[in-house]
Amino acid sequence: MDLIFLGPPGAGKGTQAKWIIEEFATPQISTGDIIRAAIRGGTELGKEFKSYTDAGKLVPDELVNRMVKDRLAQDDVKGGFLLDGFPRTVPQADALDGMQTEAGRRLNHVLLLEVADSVLLERITGRRSDPETGRVYHIKFDPPPADVADRVIQRSDDTEEVLGQRLEEYHAKTAPLIPYYEEKGLLRRIAGEGSPEEIRDLLFAAIRG
């Protein structure tokens, strides 16, 4: 089963993806995770990625398309995948269509988590990461335990200023994917402001439906 996860930054795609990959035995392909790994590794590509993410800008399509195509060619996704963070623009969606056609595959569902910008602001600016484990907490909804509280950090792209830029980019470049996939009959809208468990159940129903 080939799935795409759409939604603005902070919509909860990462949390929900863990349940989806467990329930449907579908590997997750998170372009954000791939990019952050490249940045942590200090590679030349990672440095190029960092110049965009630090400024709250999307990585250019050509770089991301190449990265995704290489990932989709690996053996573990032969039975399906959950794409999180790609496509983010209509040209990227067109590129993915080409990859799918070339591989003799087709998308099953495009899952859209819908969350208001005001809710996203509270979620994003409250996130804190543990640099030693990579675990992400939230100062209000999931505070770090006392033994790690002193070392958690706020990611450079989790500030209000950067989020505003990311939301502008999302509404301008990614939101057009909604009618793009709606016209293809693939879009499944899921309200993303309930409890994680409620949203999970809605997602499962959409995938099975």
Active site residue ranges = 13, 88, 127, 155, 166
**Which residue's structure tokens are 């293809």?**
184
Residue 13 identity (one-letter amino acid): K
Give 150: exposed, middle or buried? Use CB within 10 Å, 0-12, 13-18, 19+.
exposed
Tokens at 18, concatenated: 């863990």
Q: CB neighbours (10 Å) of residue 142?
A: 13
Compute the distance between CA of residue 114 and CA of residue 171 in angstroms, rounded to an integer.
12
Contact 180, 90 (CB under 8 A): yes
